[in-house]
């Protein structure tokens, strides 16, 4: 099993970038390039609103901890959890202790997203990576978390299956390998490239134009 030192830790949030587009991740995390568009601004505004909420909230047997620092030396990630929902528990199994709040608490990670639920694991790997960090930090097991999507104003639960956990571990290994080698993955044009804030720093636009020209020339040859 891999073990990463503090100096080798990557940003946990980067796993969502990597799952969405490895090249986007490389441009941001290896080449340190960034551009804003309305989607990134909306996402940043949402997280700022969440972060500016009270750090700790309690309502009877539920405690909300916001902007909680996370780390995993096995995955080689460090980052921040938007919200940990803690529920009072009667036993010690799979529970943690919380300063200022006596007793034991179960942990339920919640991540805020400004968009809509996706039909793949792009968002899910980030939440699962958070759960794996918490499991390592507190020697517990977390089977489920949730996303709160601003567009639909409700939670969508996510089960941390073995398949999803293995996907997170696989992404972690590849990300570290690419980062250590300083390799930014090559561009591949997809329909979602149009909404990417980095499309002008990526070569996908020139690739698309080249494909269009090649298609046009082929048509001319046929005629």
Which CATH number is 131's domain given? 3.90.320.10
Instruction: Note the pTM of the prediction, 2 decimals.
Output: 0.81
User: Does residue 210 sit within a domain?
Assistant: no
Look at residue 123 and give its three-state secondary structure: coil
Task: State the total domains in the chain.
Answer: 1
- Rounded to the nearest 5 degrees, what angle is found at the Cα of 80, between the Cα atoms of 75 and 82? 125
Query: Which regions of the chain are under pLDDT 70?
Result: 34-56, 203-223
Please tell me the distance from the alpha carbon of residue 170 to that of residue 164, in angstroms, as a whole number: 10
Backbone angles phi, psi at 153, to 5 degrees: 55, 40
Cβ neighbours of residue 100 under 8 Å, at least 6 residues apart? Answer: 56
Contact 142, 107 (CB under 8 A): yes
> Taking the chain, what is the end-to-end CA distance rounded to the nearest angstrom?
60
Structural domain boundaries enclosing 34: 6-186
User: Does residue 168 sit within a domain?
Assistant: yes
User: Does residue 207 sit within a domain?
Assistant: no
User: Does residue 216 sit within a domain?
Assistant: no
* 143 burial via Cβ count (<10 Å: 0-12, 13-18, 19+): exposed
Q: How many CB atoms lie within 10 A of CB 208?
A: 15
- Residue 120: DSSP 8-state: S
User: Does residue 48 sit within a domain?
Assistant: yes
User: Does residue 218 sit within a domain?
Assistant: no
User: Does residue 147 sit within a domain?
Assistant: yes
- Rounded to the nearest 5 degrees, what angle is found at the Cα of 137, between the Cα atoms of 132 and 143? 35
**What's the token pair of residue 194?**
């149009």
User: Does residue 200 sit within a domain?
Assistant: no
pLDDT at 13: 94
Please tell me the distance from the alpha carbon of residue 61 to that of residue 123, in angstroms, as a whole number: 29
């Amino acid at each position: 099993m891999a073990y990463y030192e503090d100096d080798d830790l990557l940003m946990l949030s980067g796993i969502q970038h990597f799952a969405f587009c490895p090249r986007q991740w490389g441009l941001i995390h290896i080449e340190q390039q960034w551009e804003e568009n309305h989607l990134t601004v909306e996402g940043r505004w949402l997280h700022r609103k969440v972060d500016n909420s009270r750090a700790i909230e309690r309502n009877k047997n539920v405690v909300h901890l916001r902007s909680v620092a996370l780390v995993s030396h096995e995955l080689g990630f460090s980052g921040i959890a938007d919200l940990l929902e803690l529920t009072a528990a009667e036993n010690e199994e799979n529970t943690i202790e919380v300063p200022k709040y006596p007793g034991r608490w179960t942990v339920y990670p919640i991540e805020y997203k400004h968009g809509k639920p996706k039909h793949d694991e792009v968002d899910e790997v980030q939440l699962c990576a958070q759960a794996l960090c918490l499991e390592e930090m507190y020697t517990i097991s977390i089977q489920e978390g949730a996303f709160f999507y601003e567009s639909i104003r409700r939670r969508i639960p996510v089960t941390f299956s073995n398949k999803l956990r293995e996907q997170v571990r696989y992404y972690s290994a590849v990300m570290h390998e690419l980062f250590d080698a300083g390799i930014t993955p090559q561009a591949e044009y997809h329909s979602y490239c149009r909404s990417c804030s980095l499309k002008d720093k990526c070569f996908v636009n020139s690739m698309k134009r080249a494909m269009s020209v090649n298609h046009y020339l082929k048509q001319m040859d046929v005629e």
